[in-house]
Amino acid sequence: MNTPEDLKYTADHEWVRIEAGNARVGITDYAQDALGDVVFVEVPAMGSTVEIGGSLGEVESTKSVSDLFVPLSGEVIEVNEALDSSPGKLNDDPYGEGWLCVISISDDSEIGRLLDAAAYRELTSE
């Protein structure tokens, strides 16, 4: 599985790219592989306030429906509208065009709760 070193991860299989006080969020390669072909993605609305551990939305695949969880608290300032018409981007390019949303981080201390690539690889190898 592809686990880029420059990202942070959650135990719920979301990835986070920190970009100037914001967090770009997606699902990991491991998660998209486990889900199978993604057919629908629900992301939060622009301007939504989200709390760490809360619901970020859902991903529906040919196998199941899975919840997405908020990796860092803040306000949703951007959503990937391309997923409405092309949810398969989560399978094709989970760390690129398959991103879900961007959150303006409200509490930088929460970043320390995220896993680095080595810890995430260890989690997914169990």
> Where exactly are the structural domains of the chain?
8-108
User: Residue 51: what pLDDT?
Assistant: 97
Report residue 112 as tokens.
Answer: 């320390």
Higher per-residue pLDDT: 125 or 126? 125
The mean pLDDT of the chain is 96
- φ, ψ (nearest 5 deg) of residue 59: -125, 125
Average pLDDT over residues 52-77: 95
User: Residue 67: what pLDDT?
Assistant: 95
Residue 120's identity, in one-letter code, is: Y
Model confidence, pTM: 0.94
Query: What topology does CATH give the domain 8-108?
Result: OB fold (Dihydrolipoamide Acetyltransferase, E2P) (2.40.50)
78-122 pLDDT per residue, tens: 999 999 999 999 999 999 999 999 999 999 999 999 999 999 999
Report residue 33 as tokens.
Answer: 């592989």
Residue 60 and residue 75: Cα distance in Å, rounded?
24
Report residue 59 as tokens.
Answer: 């991903």
Average pLDDT over residues 55-80: 96
